[in-house]
Chains A and B, each alone.
Chain A
Amino acid sequence: MEQNSLININNLVKRFPVGKGEFTALNGIDLTFETGEFAGLVGPSGSGKTTLLNIIGSLDTPSDGSVNVIGQDIANLNIKKAAVLRRQHMGFIFQTYNLLPVYTVYENIEFPLLLLKMSGSDRKKAVMDALDWVGLTDKIKSRPAQLSGGECQRVAIARAMVKKPELVLADEPTANLDAANSHNILKMMAKLNKELKTTFIFATHDDKVIQYLKRKISLEDGKIVNDENVINKGE
């Protein structure tokens, strides 16, 4: 077992109680991710993509097997420590953006840094950098309701990236976007992945996303059926 990898998953099983019985959503997953990967979990609906992303993101715990993320054993992490892990090392991108509606673009991006108790001047610099990455420096004072869907998702990317986390997890980030915007944000994330060496893991069944992946992990019925490195459009 290579403990130096960013993520180490060994024989992961996840069962959900369903009625009186159990449903096995993930069944014997073995995976490793290295720093700087741009990987995607792909597969049909119900194959276990979100479930796996949840466990990697310390939002859920495995039923069996071991999952080690950035040096933390997810199975034995209490909710407090899990929160710390997410706060310090992870960024999340959701299908529906989930920006805080009463705050401006600037404040939405600033929020994760406030949780990290970063000083005012560092915060300002980091937020301005993040705005620059996603090309929204002119929308600083806008509220989410005043932005287009593509712009909202760019704010969400900036929010996930502003603290320069080791790992960004994105579940169906393009599901609500049109083709042009989907390509736009994927290019953005591919660029950030390259420049900042941030590891990205997607859960998607969108071909537009798949085109950009450097590694494609196919799931079916909770099992990995294929795991390949691909030469993608971005290269």
Chain B
Amino acid sequence: MIRFLFKGLLRDRSRSLLPILVVTAGVTLTVFAFCYVNGILGDMIEFSAKYTSGHVKIMTRAYAENKDQVPNDLALLEVNDLISNLHDDYPKMEFVQRISFGGLLDAPDENGETKKQGVVVGMAADLISENTKEIERLNLDGALRKGRFPEKSNEVLLSDEFATKLEVSPGDKVTLITSTMYGGMSIQNFVIAGTIEFGVQFMDRSGMIADISGIQNAMDMNDACGELLGFLEMANYDDIAALNVETTFNEKYTDPNDEFSPVMTRLKNDSIMAGYFEYMDGAVGILISIFILAMSIVLWNTGLIGGLRRYGEIGVRLAIGEEKGHIYRSMILESIFVGIIGSFLGTIIGLGFSFWVQEVGINIGEIMKNSKMMVPSVFRAHITPTAYYLGFIPGLFSVVLGTMLSGIGIYKRKTASLFKELET
């Protein structure tokens, strides 16, 4: 009987082809949209990793507790020793020092008097050592507007907008007024090497990027840094690997009785990022629901049209003595078959398309001419194992639901009128 049904299904193109196409199209879109959202959220996560949280982040326990205030007086000490230990413990990972700081930036005139002054929000990273990847990691390359990258520890990058406001340009001197990590006053001169566009309003208003050694010097933070960011070898954040590093590190280095001992948190534990992860799950749920709904409606109608076409066939089957439930179930069986084929095709096409966007990416940087530091310019899809089966959920569900709805008509059919109906 099943073979008999499938024979009919395969031969009757209009019964199989249209629903298969609908399912294929819907599943293709589902899979691609999933991979794309995955990619964007992955980019957001990666973005956060690069600028603020790393895949894992090491701070002192005291710093971690007050990290919103960026308490550099609670910074990690003897950082170089710690880094070399970390290289032994996690040889495949990379650890970089970061210091966030704030203060006043003073632009003097030729007499050394204050010309303009502004509040500065700064970040220090290793910009000048030979093998540093920080320029690339911070996406500075395309964001440079004037000048060049720092080559000496007293050279800095300033937001292009901020520089204009302070009426300074590359080559000019600025004075950073801030406090040392021990609470003293710090006044240090820097030279502007270049200007950049951050692409994020508050950073464009007052942003500065300095080399870590220059800031360590200015803030009396020799061999100290606020945060040590760790990056796993894979490009995308892997929570399981990060959890593993976090656990082993904390077992070895954290001393609950010493508030200056280092403690590690992984990206997912970062409060803002936790929201992203939940958002990702929610987005997938919404995505699937929308596709199930839309496809079900289309397939319901397809089923109704098919039901009209098969009116005679169903009538004969009822007359011959097939039970209504049996016919109904046989139609659902057919729809499962259609759903599997359509989902399979859709998944393959969707994955293929996603793979292309994953490898090549949609480069909006080229369209936008100048890229900005903190705005990702290439959108990439990201294929996860979930993408292999995800499309089957809306694919099967919608076609079965559509058939169940359109097939209800069978139960309303009166056998009493079969002879008459089948006579025309």
Chains A and B bind each other: yes
Interface segment out of the listed B25-33, B163-171, B358-366, B411-419:
B411-419
**Residue B420 CB within 8 A of the other chain:** yes
B321: chain A residues at CB < 8 Å are: 83-88, 90, 112, 115
Q: How large is the interface on B (under 10, 10 to 19, 20 to 34, 35 or more residues)?
A: 20 to 34
**Residue B7 CB within 8 A of the other chain:** yes
Q: How large is the interface on A (under 10, 10 to 19, 20 to 34, 35 or more residues)?
A: 35 or more
In the bound assembly, the distance between CA atoms of A50 and B1 in angstroms comes to 31
Interface segment out of the listed B101-109, B312-320, B374-382:
B312-320
Q: Which of A75-98 contact B (CB under 8 A)?
A: 79-80, 82-88, 90, 92, 94-96, 98
**Residue A100 CB within 8 A of the other chain:** yes
Q: Which residue of A lies closest to B313 (CB)?
A: A100
User: Are B320 and A96 in contact, with the CB atoms below 8 A?
Assistant: no
Q: Which of A1-58 contact B (CB under 8 A)?
A: 50, 53-54, 57-58
**Residue B384 CB within 8 A of the other chain:** no
User: Are B422 and A94 in contact, with the CB atoms below 8 A?
Assistant: yes
User: Are B1 and A98 in contact, with the CB atoms below 8 A?
Assistant: no
In the bound assembly, the distance between CA atoms of A53 and B418 in angstroms comes to 11
* A114-B4, A115-B322 known; A59 vs B419 contact (CB < 8 Å): yes
In the bound assembly, the distance between CA atoms of A90 and B322 in angstroms comes to 12
**Residue A107 CB within 8 A of the other chain:** yes
Q: Which of B295-333 contact A (CB under 8 A)?
A: 312-313, 315-324
A111: chain B residues at CB < 8 Å are: 4, 317, 320
Kindly identify which residue among A96, A101, A159 contacts B423, using a CB–CB cutoff of 8 Å: A96
* A59-B415, A96-B423, A115-B321 known; A103 vs B7 contact (CB < 8 Å): yes
B324: chain A residues at CB < 8 Å are: 79, 83
Q: Which of B24-44 contact A (CB under 8 A)?
A: none
Report which A residues bind B (CB closer than 8 A).
Answer: 50, 53-54, 57-61, 79-80, 82-88, 90, 92, 94-96, 98-103, 107, 110-112, 114-115, 117, 159, 171-172, 175
**Residue B252 CB within 8 A of the other chain:** no
* A59-B319, A88-B321 known; A54 vs B8 contact (CB < 8 Å): no
A96: chain B residues at CB < 8 Å are: 422-424
Most A CB contacts (10 A, CB to CB) among B1, B416, B419 go to B419
Supply 22 A–B pairs (Cβ within 8 Å), ascending by A.
Answer: A50-B420, A54-B418, A59-B415, A60-B415, A61-B416, A79-B323, A83-B318, A83-B322, A84-B321, A86-B321, A87-B320, A94-B316, A95-B422, A98-B315, A99-B316, A103-B11, A107-B4, A107-B7, A110-B4, A111-B317, A111-B320, A114-B4
B15: shortest Cβ distance to chain A, in Å? 8
A101: chain B residues at CB < 8 Å are: 313
In the bound assembly, the distance between CA atoms of A141 and B322 in angstroms comes to 24
**Residue B130 CB within 8 A of the other chain:** no
In the bound assembly, the distance between CA atoms of A112 and B320 in angstroms comes to 7
In the bound assembly, the distance between CA atoms of A50 and B11 in angstroms comes to 34
In the bound assembly, the distance between CA atoms of A121 and B313 in angstroms comes to 26
Q: Which residue of B lies closest to A100 (CB)?
A: B313
A141: shortest Cβ distance to chain B, in Å? 13
In the bound assembly, the distance between CA atoms of A46 and B321 in angstroms comes to 27
Q: Which residue of A lies closest to B411 (CB)?
A: A79
User: Are A50 and B419 in contact, with the CB atoms below 8 A?
Assistant: yes
In the bound assembly, the distance between CA atoms of A32 and B7 in angstroms comes to 43
**Residue B12 CB within 8 A of the other chain:** yes
In the bound assembly, the distance between CA atoms of A107 and B416 in angstroms comes to 26
Kindly identify which residue among B319, B322, B416 contacts A92, using a CB–CB cutoff of 8 Å: B319
In the bound assembly, the distance between CA atoms of A92 and B12 in angstroms comes to 25
Chain B, 393-424, contact with A by CB distance < 8 Å: what is the 0/1 string? 00000000000000000000001101110111
User: Are A172 and B423 in contact, with the CB atoms below 8 A?
Assistant: yes
In the bound assembly, the distance between CA atoms of A61 and B316 in angstroms comes to 19
User: Are B415 and A171 in contact, with the CB atoms below 8 A?
Assistant: no
Given contacts A60-B415, A159-B320, 15 further A-B contacts (CB under 8 A): A54-B418, A79-B323, A94-B316, A94-B423, A99-B316, A102-B7, A103-B11, A107-B7, A111-B4, A112-B321, A114-B1, A115-B1, A115-B320, A117-B1, A171-B423
